């Protein structure tokens, strides 16, 4: 995996506003926050996208994430939040080191500080497509 700014943050070569660290996980404030308390949670393992992450790192992230969500909510007073995780440039990933965004939502605040905005254009799942996708995905599980 190519070196990213997050590798330098993990090594302590670049400053971050660290809110949590353990053997496998680091969490720090996003420098371009969508709302107050916007936090990034990253594995120390250098994987570019979630599908490339080891089970051990995934388990460590899974343990830390809900605790960090609780801490961000408690600290900011937010009662709603989004967890966002982008994989690939086409999915808006800018830093190619796995990271989860915890983004508190403050609906009453002006846009620019209210949190994540989402455009969601749902389609319709037809029976044939559902059948073939269910089969393809379940058979691809390793």
Active site residue ranges: 99
The Cα 60–Cα 25 span in angstroms is 7
**Least gap, CB of 5 to ligand AMP (angstroms):** 5
Shorter beta-carbon distance to ligand AMP: residue 50 or 71: 50
Nearer to ligand AMP, 11 or 92 (CB): 92
Contact (CB, 8 A) for 107 and 114: yes
* Angstrom distance (rounded) from CA 82 to CA 117: 10
Distance CA 141, CA 136 (A): 9
Nearer to ligand AMP, 73 or 95 (CB): 95
Q: Smallest gap, in angstroms, from Cβ of residue 107 to ligand AMP?
A: 20
Footprint of ligand AMP (CB under 6 A): 5, 14, 16, 30-32, 40, 86, 92-95
Closest listed residue to residue 109, CA positions, set 36, 17, 27, 12 = 36
Strand partners, 39: 29, 102
Kindly state the smallest distance separating residue 100's Cβ from ligand AMP, in Å. 9
């Amino acid at each position: 995996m190519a070196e990213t700014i997050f590798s330098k943050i993990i090594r302590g070569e670049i400053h971050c506003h660290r809110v949590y660290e353990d053997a496998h996980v680091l969490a720090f404030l996003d420098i371009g926050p969508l709302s107050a308390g916007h936090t990034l949670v990253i594995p120390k393992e250098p994987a570019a996208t979630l599908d490339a992450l080891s089970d051990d790192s995934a388990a460590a992230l899974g343990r830390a994430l809900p605790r960090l969500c609780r801490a961000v909510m408690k600290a900011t007073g937010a009662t709603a939040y989004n967890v966002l995780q982008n994989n690939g440039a086409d999915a808006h990933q800018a830093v190619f080191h796995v990271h989860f965004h915890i983004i508190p939502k403050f609906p009453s605040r002006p846009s620019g500080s209210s949190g994540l905005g989402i455009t969601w254009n749902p389609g319709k799942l037809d029976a044939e497509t559902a059948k073939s996708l269910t089969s393809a995905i379940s058979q691809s599980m390793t």
